[in-house]
Amino acid sequence: MSEKMLSRRGAFTLLGLAALGFVLPTTVLTMSEAEAQPAAPAPAAPAPSGMTRGEQRRAGRRAARQTRRQARRTARETRRQGRRTARQTRRQARRGVTPTKQQ
């Protein structure tokens, strides 16, 4: 018999096949001949508002997302306006012009 180096890939393949050999017989032995029971009937009455609970959750998330976005936009605009005002004040100070109050 010739000695041959076993590669890492070959070793993992052998290990995987060995594990499959142990798992397969247990799954075959544990399978039963019982038949599946029919699923329970779904409730016939929809939600009173016309929307399902999932749709209500999604609508709530959507509204909250829009509120957060609007708040971010407002805050961003406020920061930009503050930077513009500060920039204009510095520019006027460099030029020696008396700063005027911006509205």
H helices of 3-52, in order, are 8-30
| Strand ranges for 48-100 from DSSP E | none
Domain boundaries, the chain: 58-96
Q: Which residue has the higher pLDDT, 62 or 27?
A: 62
Select from 37, 56, 36 the least CA-distant residue to 46: 56
Instruction: State which H helix or E strand residue 83 sits in.
Output: helix 53-95
The predicted pLDDT at position 66 comes to 96
pLDDT digits (tens, 9 = 90+) for 39-91: 777 666 555 567 799 999 999 999 999 999 999 999 999 999 999 999 999 99
Q: How far is Cα 47 from Cα 66, in angstroms, rounded to an integer? A: 25
The predicted pLDDT at position 71 comes to 97
Q: Which residue has the higher pLDDT, 33 or 91?
A: 91
Q: Which residue has the higher pLDDT, 26 or 82?
A: 82
Q: How far is Cα 11 from Cα 14, in angstroms, rounded to an integer? A: 5
pTM of the model: 0.42
